[in-house]
Homo-oligomer: A and B are copies of this chain.
Amino acid sequence: MARKPEHKQSSADKALKVLDLFTEDFPAWTVEMLMKELDATRATTYRYVKVLYDAGLLATGAGSSYVLGPRIIQLDRQIQRSDPLLQIALPMLEEEKSPLIGSKSISSLYGDQVLSVYVEKCDLDIFLTMQRGRVFPLVYGAPSRIILAHLPPYQMKNFYIANAEDIACAHLGETWEDFRTSMQRLRKQGYCIGSEINPTVVGISAPIFHDKSAVSASLSYVRRLEITSDAQKAELAELVVAAADRISKQLLSYRPERGTRGPVFTTPRMSV
């Protein structure tokens, strides 16, 4: 779950924590800098770096610095090639040519977060903030919320218990009953509409299931807010729900090929 800091001390943990330092603002680190940051000796720092370097997760950069390594790009390609959702959805989305659609995107549920895994720009004048790799909490944005609304009951309950405040802040319900009914309403509607993430656009998201009653992702169609009428919103909603349903249908009958040992869907884990 990559977010809760553990107090367990294991050398692999500590080595992997080095990866956390490579943020957008600090993409390159020298060993000296890492030593200070990790509060470790030179030898230990070099050992951590070596482990990650040998795994290809780090690479040497200019000026005796280290940067994120080539293995990450390779693994990302592997995910894209082995993800049945993308394999099925991308060809289907290519056939969807309605001029109403300014952008199409797919978001996947990972643990208690939602990750954008695919973004396509159709309207060249649209300004997009969504990007493959962006992460959102389950309460924030239409792509997340429509997934949240379709979680199995016990997971939703657990999520509520652990995130009651965030849910209240997001106006999704002051109490468990409130929350449950608002989620029920979303489920009945079949889609979620909003401009939360990017105020210049309106996004409409529909759930994608990889198993009956097991949500795994959401499909979103986006359009510039200023040029969108209510009727168009309704039409977009129909389109996105229909497309998501088609993708779900295909996913349900998906059988891996080429020696693949099993399905590659992710399942949430809602531990508190």
- Give chain A's interface residues, CB within 8 Å of chain B: 1-2, 6, 10-13, 15-16, 19, 22-30, 33, 47-48, 51-57, 59-63, 65, 67-82, 108, 110-111, 113, 115, 117, 131-135, 210-211, 214, 258-269
A16-B51, A77-B131 as given contacts; A266 in contact with B61, CB under 8 Å: yes
| CB-defined contacts of A30 to chain B, threshold 8 Å | 262
Chain B minimum-CB-distance residue to A27: B82
Q: How many copies does the complex hold?
A: 2
Contacts of A6 in B (CB 8 A): 54
Which of chain B's residues have a CB closer than 8 A to the CB of A16?
Answer: 12, 51-52, 54-55, 57
In the complex, the answer to whether B78 meets A76 with C-beta atoms within 8 Å is: no
Residue ID in chain B nearest A79 by CB atoms:
B68
Residue of B whose beta carbon sits closest to that of A55: B16
What 3 A-B pairs are tightest by C-beta distance, nearest first?
A77-B133, A2-B56, A27-B82
Q: Tell me the complex Cα distance, A210–B47, Å.
A: 28
Inter-chain contact A28/B79, CB cutoff 8 Å: no
Residues of B within 8 A of A69 (CB): 2, 110
Query: What are 29 of the A-B contact pairs (CB < 8 Å)?
Result: A1-B53, A2-B54, A2-B56, A2-B70, A2-B71, A6-B54, A10-B11, A10-B51, A23-B78, A24-B78, A24-B82, A25-B259, A26-B259, A27-B82, A28-B261, A29-B261, A59-B110, A61-B266, A62-B266, A65-B263, A67-B264, A68-B79, A70-B108, A70-B111, A70-B113, A70-B135, A76-B132, A77-B131, A77-B134
Residue numbers in B under 8 Å from A73 (CB-CB):
76, 79, 115, 117, 132-133
- CB neighbours (8 Å) of A265 from chain B are 61-62
**What's the Cα separation between A270 and B140 when bound, in Å?**
47
> Known: A28-B260, A33-B261, A68-B78. Is A266-B60 also a contact (CB below 8 A)?
yes
CA distance A264 to B69 in the complex (A): 11
CB of A252 to closest CB in B, whole Å: 12
What separation, in Å, do the CA atoms of A7 and B56 have in the docked complex? 17
